[in-house]
Amino acid sequence: MTKPPTPFADLVVVELGHSVSAPFAGQIFGDLGAQVIKIEKREGDDARKWGPPFWEGAAASFQTLNRSKRSVVCDLRSARDRDALLTLIVERADVVLQNLRPGQVEELGLDGATLLQRKPALVYCNMGAFGRAGPLKDRPGYDPLMQAFGGVMATTGEPGRPSVRVGPSIIDMGTGMWAVIGILAALRERAATGKGAVVDVSLYETSTSWVSLLASQYLASGESPGKQGSGANGIVPYKAYATRDGELVVAAGSEGLFRKLAAVVGHPEWIADPRFADNPARVRNQGELYAMLDAIMLTADTAHWAAQLETAGIPCSPVQSIAQMVAHEQTAALGLVQDVPGTAMRFLGLPLAIDGQRPRPSARPPALGEHTGILFGHSEN
């Protein structure tokens, strides 16, 4: 088997992280070869108990986020432990990730400004809730709160019905991704100047970035976009339809695709209908158009419509369950589901490849405190 890419093999990352956002950033670094040292409280990251389901000693969600890492138990209120952690960071760390409650690292002397005085080449990343400034900067936050506060939930769900949270933890995981992007930018600058930096990302800022296209529509029109169900604001027809045996998403977002769709569903006259003459007209008259398409799609099963649409070159997709996605031959062909060394666990890998090779987990998720010796003896166990 070809060796997986490990471009961060020379990096040491200290993760003062819990829950999802900082651990996800740490997971990305770990899968790409960095030595990631996860600092945990005595009872461990709360996410260890986020189950069922549990898998080989901890919640499945914890295990996937914390593969390819080492676990060090450190009592941050203990002067002895804290001094040892400071020594570890100064002597070995390239990067520190932290998503502790607002103000905690400053109280402990583990904030970016303090650590950069000790180690000017350090890259330190704050992963806050509401960001580094403003009236809410000291408030904690979690993914569903930020989906609500950042406008995501107001645009998610069916019109006239209660707002719903997007199922995946897109705010937490998106913040982890932005952390990695910011850190890589700072590391590139460090390579040129020798100087580290403090990177700030937050759940709130990530939430606003996910709705930036919708916000641009509001800023242009003064009208706040509402819920679109499975559709997209400003593009019609572009949504999911119930079929006789399931659901199918059809994305006919251009004039050429709309003409093809009209032909496939047996209504070529729609092409000349002024209500549907172009996308702005279809957006204005989407209620009428969708009512007709909804009724047509219910007359046959998903496979029938998918075959017809694909033959015509119209983008479409059945709505798959997680089980169907995992089992699909496309998932297998890309090698997305990966075995974790030394375990029976299997997780989805990073969504990237380098020279055709996807990064792979380098080690199983650590048991709580398995590598605490690193803190005091600089050993690996």
Tokens of 300: 């046959």
The answer to whether the beta carbons of residues 174 and 205 sit under 8 Å apart is no
Q: What pLDDT is recorded for position 231?
A: 94
**Domain 12-210+332-377 class, CATH top level:** alpha beta
Residue 1: the pLDDT is 59
**Residue ranges covered by each domain of the chain:** 12-210+332-377, 238-242+247-318
Q: Is 278 a catalytic residue?
A: no
Spatial contact of 164 and 157, defined as CB atoms under 8 Å apart = yes
The predicted model scores a pTM of 0.94
User: Which residue stretches of the chain have pLDDT < 70?
Assistant: 1, 378-381
The verdict on whether omega for the bond into residue 318 sits within 30 degrees of 0, i.e. cis, is no
Q: Which fold has domain 238-242+247-318?
A: formyl-coa transferase, domain 3 (3.30.1540)
Q: How many whole angstroms from its chain centre is CA 359?
A: 17
Which one from 45, 81, 172, 200 is the annotated catalytic residue? Answer: 172
Bridge partners, residue 318, by sequence: 248
